[in-house]
Amino acid sequence: MSGVVETEVLVIGGGGAGCSTALHLALRGAKVVLLERGLVGSQASGANYGGVRQQGRHPAELPIAKRSHAIWQDLPRLLGTDCEFVATGHLKLARSAADEADLVAYLDVARDYQLPVRFLDRATLHRDYPWLGASVVAASFAPEDGSANPRLLSPALAQAARAAGAAIREQIQVTACRHENGRFVVEAGDAVFHADTLVNTAGFWGGQVAEWFGEPVPVRPHTPNMGVTEPIPYFIRPNIGVAGGGIYLRQIPRGNVIFGGGRGTGDPAVPFSRATPEATLAAMRKAVEIVPSLAGVSVIRSWSGIDGMMPDGIPVVGPSSTTPGLFHAFGFSGHGFQLGPAIGAILSELVLDGRTDVPLEPLSIRRFQTTP
């Protein structure tokens, strides 16, 4: 489709954040077009681990995570599918006294944000989860958290957005953006889009969009390394994380154990990403340390996707510092899947109401700008 397309809001990037933004804007009657280079949810939003977790998040993210938690529970009504979201609880393990101290310290953060988290000492932990390895010394359990199927979320959000009147355009790459006479001009494919408002939810590539508007950020590509086993009897109920990182795993009721850890490889210019054998083997070894009975279980697939990693590990969310009418939400640094649904709700408020109740100042793009 060539020519000029006029719209009120243009969203660049069809991950969870972008598709949710299109949905929430369309539900409130805004005229919205979303542009996605590949298919919606092809990169970080579709290839991630599927953890839906509030526990362990940076306090700057917690208000968004809490809002998202409410939306996750409401997905069947909103989307006609629960995206396989199950609140299994999230069990974060400590393997040393120092890690245990970190878990204890986070209890205060959780209390401040009314996040239910329960501490489990060694004896209680091994009594309740007898399949855990001996190296685990303590844990904290967040019952509201769980997991979902990342391959379904963005497509389902996009489909609901379509039903609400949004135009979801896939296989169309944005090549230039500018702000001209109070309007945004975006070149993509062989078309030009004019919009009053521009939303940048382009993941790693969001850095390019910000740069076009004179606010470059030090975002780097992040390629989490993921794997999955053959199905085995269901025994790992909670989503498992580890203080200090390096390995995370969950089992779905059909039996497969999904695990992640380390980095894959990739090239955002293609875009191309893949798990590496080194990272997969390292994650397998760590998985067996945590859950020894996984020894001998076959890994059947590995994969990766490209996310944007910020130097401080938290995303850029909020208005542009240079251009009125431009809003960013990118650089989710490997843990944006849970946040995506709320990001859409929050951005729709910023766009349509000019304000939101969720505090976004700590996530502002300004934090990367040196004062002149």
Partner 1 sequence: MRVAVVGAGPAGVRAVEQLVRAGLRPVWIDEAPDGGGRIYQRPPAGFHRTPKALYGWEGGRAAALHATLDALKPQVDWRPETLVWNIQPGLLDPGRLDTVRDGAVEQLGFDAAILCTGAMDRVIPIPGWTLPGVTAMGAAQIALKTQGCAIGRRVAFVGSGPLLWLVAYQYMKSGAGIAAVIDTTPWRTKLHALAGLRDGAATLAKGAWYVARLRAAGILVREGATPIAIEGEDGVTGLRWRDASGVEQRLDCDALALGWGVRPETQLADLAGVPMRFDAPSHLWVPQRDAAGRSAVPGLYLAGDGAGIGGADVAEMAGARAALALQEDAGMKADVELATRLDRRLHAQARFRAALDRAFPFPARLAATMPDATILCRCEAVRAGELRQAARADAATGAAPEVNRAKAFTRIGMGRCQGRICGAAASAVLADALGCDVTEVGRLRGQAPVKPLPMPMPIPAGTP
Q: Does 159 bind partner 1 (CB under 8 A)?
A: yes
Tell me the closest approach of the beta carbon of residue 156 to partner 1, in angstroms: 5
Q: Do 340 and 16 meet the contact criterion of CB atoms below 8 Å apart?
A: yes
Residues 90-129 that bind partner 1 (CB under 8 A): none
Give the count of residues interacting with partner 1 (CB under 8 A).
35
Select 128 or 267, whichever has its Cβ closest to partner 1.
267
Residues 137-156 that bind partner 1 (CB under 8 A): 151-152, 155-156
Tell me the closest approach of the beta carbon of residue 120 to partner 1, in angstroms: 25
Q: Does 242 bind partner 1 (CB under 8 A)?
A: no
Cα separation, 309 vs 318, in Å, equals 17
Select 267 or 361, whichever has its Cβ closest to partner 1.
267
Cα separation, 296 vs 156, in Å, equals 36
Q: Which amino acid is at 1?
A: M
Going by their DSSP bridges, the two strands 3-12 and 316-319 should be labelled as: unpaired
Q: Which residues of 262-285 are buried (b: 16+ CB within 10 A; e: fewer)?
A: bbbebebeebebebbeebbebbbe
Per DSSP, the three-state class of 127 is helix
- Tell me how far the alpha carbon of residue 32 is from its chain's centroid: 22
Options 23, 158, 247, 360; binder of partner 1; rule CB under 8 A:
158
Tell me the closest approach of the beta carbon of residue 228 to partner 1, in angstroms: 8
Residue corresponding to tokens 């296989």: 171
Select 32 or 350, whichever has its Cβ closest to partner 1.
32
Q: Does 27 bind partner 1 (CB under 8 A)?
A: no
Rg (CA), the chain: 21
Q: Does 46 bind partner 1 (CB under 8 A)?
A: yes
Going by their DSSP bridges, the two strands 146-147 and 307-309 should be labelled as: unpaired
The distance between the two most distant Cα atoms of the chain, rounded to a whole number of Å, is 67
Select 150 or 318, whichever has its Cβ closest to partner 1.
150
Tell me the closest approach of the beta carbon of residue 151 to partner 1, in angstroms: 4
Q: Do 226 and 217 meet the contact criterion of CB atoms below 8 Å apart?
A: no
Cα separation, 267 vs 51, in Å, equals 24
Residues 313-332 that bind partner 1 (CB under 8 A): none
Residues 247-306 that bind partner 1 (CB under 8 A): 274-275, 277-278, 280-282, 284-285, 287-288, 294-303
Select 25 or 79, whichever has its Cβ closest to partner 1.
79
Binding site for partner 1 (CB under 8 A): 39, 46, 79-81, 151-152, 155-156, 158-159, 162, 229-230, 274-275, 277-278, 280-282, 284-285, 287-288, 294-303
